[in-house]
Structures are given as structure tokens and as C-alpha cells.
Amino acid sequence: MKTAFNRWLPAIARTFPSHVLVRASRVPTQRKALLAATGLTAAAALAGGQVAAGAAATTAAPAATPGATAVEPNAAPKPGKGTSSAAPAPAADVAPTPSMADLIPYGTQGAQSSVRLSPEQVDNARTIVRTAKRAGVGERGAVIGVATALQESKLNNFGHLGYLNDHDSLGLFQQRPSTGWGSPDQVTDPQYASSAFFEGLKRVNGWQNMPLTDAAQTVQVSAYPFAYAQWERQAADLVRQLWNQ
């Protein structure tokens, strides 16, 4: 085979210019360097003067730095020491928990009361807190709202109680449809009732600097104006617990 191939060399030299033959002679060296740079191995075979088919085109990569670990192109990094296979979760956008100084800025007035609450009552308190945030009255307004509802209904969304009912008072805040608070269906909707209370609170000039019982009484016009003060501590604890829920 070698003798037969050498017989054709003069004819090949006449057919192709010398610069083509020189360039062709460099191909194996360039391909070997290319394959070494990418960490791949390949074998080239010549049989009957034809190059074996099936070699895939390869994109050239920069030459490897001596001592560096070869990395497959487009390969994802593998977990190792000090790494994690999962991307870190984004930090949750959570508001700071209010301090007791913000919730009760002037201290409590008189003896404090508390009641044990069912999940439904806690859920009603949560609605009041969320509505306070939307209404823009902050944590102090939320404390006033929760304390008011603790006094009026112990955070129960009461419908009409028959002969036990105080006039036509209904809902968490015992609001009366006959005095303009809304329809019976509206004032027994915790979100509507809370919004109505906070709209009334915002119309009270200087409510932020009032004792809790005075601010609540100005909105509610209750027959027991000082009764709201006893719930300030439990209301503050609930607001602190529920503020970021």
C-alpha cells in the first residue's frame, strides 16, 4: 500500500499548489491541539486513502491553563464542598415585628383583662390587623381596633341575638345599621366592619396621641366609655403575633 501510494505523490504535487499541501500537512497537528484543549480524545484512521467518516465538528476552545481542571463546555457546575445543589431562596419581604413601645406608647390604663380565644376569634383579629394595615393606621390603630372588638364582641362576629341583642347592634364592632354603619350583611362582614371602624377612627383628630379608650369611645359612642382600656394588653399581644401573617 505504501509503495503504491508513493507512486502517486508526483501527480498530487502537480495538481495542488505547494501552499495547499503545506496547510494540509498541518491539519493533524492543529486537530490534535484542539482535542487536547477541550479534554477530548479521538483517533484518526486512514484506510484506502480515505478519512474515516463520523467525526463531529468541534468548536475550538481556549487553550487549557497548565494545572487547571478541564471543564466540559456548557456543563453545569457540580456540587462540591461549600456549594449547594439548590439555588438559595430569595429573602422574604417581611416587615419588622412591632415593639411593645409602638403598640402601647402611653402604657395601659387600669387593670387588664384577657379571654381565651378560639381559632375563629383569632382569625377575626387577623382580619382586623390586615385591614388596619390597608387603611394606613399602623400598628397603634390595629391595637385600638382589636381592643374595641374585644370589648364589643370578644372578637365574635355576632348576628342578631334576639332579646339579648343591644338594639340592632351586629358584628365584631356591634355596629348599628340604624345609625348609618351599613346594612346588616355589611356590618357582619368582618372586613367591611373593620374598614368602617378605621374610617371612623381616621376622622378623629389626634387619635394617634389619645389614650386607647378615648380614641375607641370617640368612634363607638358607647354607654361604657372606659371599658375599652382593659383590653389594651391582650390587643397588643395579638397585633404583635399577627402583624406579619
Q: pLDDT tens digit string along 84-96?
A: 445 555 555 677 8
Provide the pLDDT for residue 130: 98
Provide the pLDDT for residue 153: 97
The dihedral formed by the CA atoms of 44, 50, 54 and 57, expressed in degrees to the nearest 10 = 70
Q: What is the spatial distance between Cα 147 and Cα 9, in angstroms, rounded to a whole number?
A: 105
Tell me the torsion sign for CA atoms 168, 228, 196, 130: negative
Provide the pLDDT for residue 162: 80
Provide the pLDDT for residue 92: 53
Give the tens place of pLDDT for each residue, 49-72. 443 444 444 444 444 444 444 444
Provide the pLDDT for residue 35: 38
Q: Are 61 and 73 in contact (CB under 8 A)?
A: yes
Residues β-bridged to residue 13 = none
Q: Where are the domains of the chain?
A: 6-49, 100-242
- For the domain made up of 100-242, the CATH class stated in words is mainly alpha
CA angle (149, 152, 157) in 5-degree steps: 70
Flag residues of the chain having pLDDT under 50: 1-3, 5-6, 8-13, 15-77, 79-85
Query: What separation in angstroms does the CA of 86 have from each of 76, 78, 83?
Result: 12, 11, 9
Cell numbers standing for residue 121: 376569634
Q: Are 109 and 232 in contact (CB under 8 A)?
A: yes
